Amino acid sequence: MASILITGCAGFIGSHLAERLLLDGHRVVGLDNFDPFYDRTIKEQNLATCRANPRFSFHEADLRHGLDALVDALPADPVDLVVHLAAKAGVGPSVKEPVAYLENNVLGTTHLLEWMRQRGISKLFFASSSSVYGNTRQQPFREDMNLLGACISPYAASKLSGEQLTYTYHHLYGLDVLNARFFTVFGPRQRPDLAIHKFVRLLRAGQPIPVFGDGSTARDYTFVLDTVDGISRGVDYLLSHQGVYETINLGNNQPVPLLALIQAVGQAVGIEPQLAFEAMQAGDVDVTYADISKARQLLDYAPRTSLADGLQAFVAWLDAPLVTIKERVTPQQ
């Protein structure tokens, strides 16, 4: 088994991944800066299960602060592979704070890559985003599409820049890399600013749900455990292969229109939604739609959780956040 560093370990995806890799028998080193984008206590709760495992250690540090901060924060114990999830997330907020997104996602990633090079760590799983495809007309989105001019938000630009950096380090220093473009991950522990989380709060408060545009925009919603399974398979692939540089989509291959999502959330909560139509938000794309054939070929990746089952799991977590995730969802077979 390997020793794996997860940046952004206390977040939504990172905490689920840490639990999965520990179950797989790995040693996990967690790193997070507890960005104040949302309450630190939520992230601390995310880590509760991991902290009880003797194969887990955690360190607080900010990637923006350079190599010295990483050297000071991280022990000299061997790290075989890095899963880089840490990022300032969100399309809309990035339009308002572009510099902060570039500092976190581009400069922070550069500091991490340099730390890896100096430590002699040669394996990287990099979390990218479906936002890099922008409003590309060809659907579903394939990894080999030309993305020149596709990014329409600072967040998207920062993620595509991260991919370019990983290629540079692969080319110059022999870093083995798997870039994974995530597609609208949802489920228990989802950030409170994201749509599904907000929709449930509004429904229970008897307030209307804002619909940006005419409701036809669609997202390829992917349940968090399916995404985590893809990452785990990617980790195994990197550990067992040399000379790797690949980019894959980790999506669900089933875009869901916004109005259909709102109805599904209403059914999960048991409340009929009221709608309030508003103008489209700057930086938002019309559709995300993953071609997952490459991930299936390389990793045998196959998402199994339906939107309805995933929403039920999310609502159950909101009502009982300490219930273990295995008790909340039974994926489709």
Which residues are part of the catalytic machinery?
155
Distance CA 122, CA 260 (A): 43
Helix (H) or strand (E) holding 26: none
Distance CA 252, CA 223 (A): 8
Handedness of CA 206, 211, 216, 218 (dihedral sign): negative
Distance CA 7, CA 32 (A): 6
Handedness of CA 10, 16, 17, 23 (dihedral sign): positive
* Residues with Cβ within 8 Å of residue 331, at least 6 apart in sequence: 223, 225, 226, 304, 305, 309
Single-letter code of the amino acid located at 220: D
Taking CA atoms, 273 is separated from 74, 196, 211, 266, 268, in Å, by: 47, 13, 11, 6, 11
Q: What share of the chain is helix, strand, coil (3-state, %, to 5)?
A: 45, 20, 40
- Taking alpha carbons only, the member of 28, 30, 35, 93 closest to residue 64 is 35
